[in-house]
Chain A
Amino acid sequence: MNRSPMSRPLLLRILLILAFTAALEALCRLGVIDRFTMPPPSRILEDLARLLVTGKLYGAIAKTLSNCAIAFALAVVAGVAAGVVIHKSRLLRQALDPLFATYYAIPVFAFYPLFIIIFGLGDIPQIVIAFMMSVIAMIVNVLNGLDRVPAVLLKTARMARMSPLETALRMTLPSAAPYLLTGAKLALAYAFIGIIGSEFIMSRGGMGFEIAFAYTNFDNAVMYPLIVLILAISVAVNALLGIWEKRILARRGLR
């Protein structure tokens, strides 16, 4: 409604990012940062445009993004299913809750060599790593969302004589939607980290692999544009989910 208090932090944010980029640009051009370490940001963008025009890396980009999408989709589906089951069983819940709480202390990447031995050096071990990282965030948020469905709304569904399926679809799901979106946002971020991280460590392709390859060849004209591209994609996808989330919350007067 009132736009100005919202747009001022946004303005400041943009200014800070621009100032940081300008400072980097200046440091690079003045030679404080030598050009073998890092080219100036303007040059990185130029290289990125050139890379995208040649289409040389489209295969790598497609591979990374599709693996992310697969891991993310699996995490959302499995996370919702597991969340619903765990929510129903008190015993299961009490047994698993402490494990969820400590889960992110585990460096999942440590299992990567094991997965390569089991699944071979293809896409599967990377998807497994990404899935392992994202599914728990999804489960935790599904549980949180289900916990917070107001009891009075479930009673309202019963008074309307809804079947369990109808109640789930018309009451529980929309009520938990903001939490599901939060879970999905986190799951997506973890899927990116999982895929690109494992490509980095050991793989035969993908954006992470190309960055590592460019790095070992001192190929700054490929490495930096790719880093920027990953950054841009990750931020853009997250922002899209964020806008959706904000819309849902605003309608409910929560933000």
Chain B
Amino acid sequence: MTSKPSSEAPGTPAGVHARLRDVIKTFPAPGRERGVHALGPLDLDLKKGEFFAVVGPSGCGKSTLLELVAGLATVSEGTIAFEDRPVHGGVPDGIGVVFQEDASIPWLTVTGNIAFGLHKTGLGDKERNRRVADALDIMGLGDFADSYPAQLSGGMRQRVCIARTLVMQPRLILLDEPFGALDQQTRLLMGEELLKLWRETSATIFLITHALDEAAMLADRIGVMSARPGRLLSIIETDWPRDRDSRVVEEPAFGALTAQLWHKLRGESLKSIGRAQGP
């Protein structure tokens, strides 16, 4: 494990888990000297232990934002710090990612998949087995420990990927539209499980989604992004209790929240499909 972040480090007050300042991402493009401007400038503080969701029109750079925080891509300008250390050109210790695509490893059993990252941690066999057993249990995969991903449904495979991230005990979990490929009912239930995990692990969660209802149901705070180049238009607080579940969709406040999100996003979504903003 890494040493504790220094409390004298400048910039990041206590309670801020990750800090993004003036973050800009451009991609090189042929024939364009300055490249394609994909994201930013963008400022954001993720609070320790909160559930933060990002919604935005397609192509606005949501996934790029996640890759920058994960250290899978590097910022063109600006800074990102996680636990007071700059994230630059490397995957920081303590961050786990669940991707949108099926990332289950087809030649490994469910157990092999979950244990995949553990062999590098230097943990003993006993601790590794305990963590894998716990993750199997938490994700309800116990009966499928020896199955191969091909034998599982899409939802089960995504559980495998979540379990694989959990055993690493990340302090910040990034999820990139993890339920995008699942049907609506499965999504609601997976969302409920995600809330449970969040409460039990007390990790910070950063969820990217295109589903407004998913964001409204799960998050403490929701960042609304503009059309490309993606910027944060506003951050909405949901005020849900910490021990919520999918039944918050029955609350009147849920409808109001989803409506408020759509109100902010409609113009941006129109831009992203190439139409001017309507009345």
A residues with a Cβ closer than 8 A to B are 150, 152-153, 155-156, 158-162, 166, 171, 174-175, 177, 248, 251-254
Contact = CB atoms under 8 A, between A and B. Distances in A.
B150 A155 contact: no
Interface in B68-123: 70, 72, 91, 93, 95-97, 99, 101-103, 105-107, 116-117, 120
B169 to A, nearest CB: 13
A156 B107 contact: no
28 contacts: A150-B101, A152-B99, A152-B102, A155-B72, A156-B99, A156-B116, A156-B164, A158-B72, A159-B70, A159-B95, A160-B116, A160-B117, A160-B120, A161-B91, A161-B93, A161-B120, A166-B120, A171-B105, A174-B105, A175-B106, A177-B107, A251-B148, A251-B150, A252-B107, A253-B106, A253-B149, A253-B150, A253-B151
A162 B150 contact: no
Given A150-B101, A156-B99, A248 B107 contact: yes
Contact of B106 (A155, A156, A162, A252): A252
Contacts, number: 56
Nearest to A177: B107
Given A161-B120, A251-B148, A253-B151, A153 B107 contact: no
B103 A155 contact: yes
Contacts of B120: 160-162, 166
B107 A251 contact: yes
Contact of A252 (B95, B117, B150, B168): B150
A160 B97 CA distance: 10
A152 B72 CA distance: 11
Interface string B130-163: 0000000000000000001111000000000000
A156 B103 contact: yes
Nearest to A156: B103
Contacts of A171: 105
Nearest to A254: B150
Nearest to B113: A156
A171 B104 CA distance: 11
Contacts of B116: 156, 160
Contacts of A253: 106, 148-151
Given A152-B103, A161-B93, 8 more contacts: A150-B101, A152-B99, A152-B101, A155-B103, A159-B96, A160-B120, A161-B91, A175-B107
Question: Dominant SS at the B interface?
Answer: loop
B124 to A, nearest CB: 18
Nearest to A163: B120
A144 to B, nearest CB: 17
Contact of A158 (B91, B102, B107, B151): B91
Nearest to B152: A253
A177 to B, nearest CB: 7
Nearest to B90: A161
Task: Give the 8 A-B residue pairs with the shortest CB-CB distance, closest first.
Answer: A253-B150, A160-B117, A252-B106, A152-B101, A152-B103, A174-B107, A156-B103, A152-B99
Contact of B99 (A155, A174, A248): A155
Contacts of B103: 150, 152-153, 155-156
A153 B106 CA distance: 10
B138 to A, nearest CB: 20
A162 B119 CA distance: 10
A253 B105 CA distance: 12
Contacts of A160: 116-117, 120, 168
A126 to B, nearest CB: 37
Contacts of B101: 150, 152
Given A152-B102, A251-B148, A253-B150, A159 B117 contact: yes
A159 B91 contact: yes
A153 B105 contact: yes
A153 B95 CA distance: 17
Interface core residue of B91, B96, B149 (most chain A CB under 10 Å): B91
Contacts of B91: 158-159, 161
Nearest to A151: B101
A160 B168 CA distance: 9
B28 to A, nearest CB: 14
Nearest to A248: B107
Given A251-B150, A252-B148, A159 B97 contact: yes
A68 to B, nearest CB: 29
Nearest to B170: A159
A171 B116 CA distance: 10
B99 to A, nearest CB: 5
A152 B97 CA distance: 11
Contacts of B97: 155, 159
A160 B114 CA distance: 12
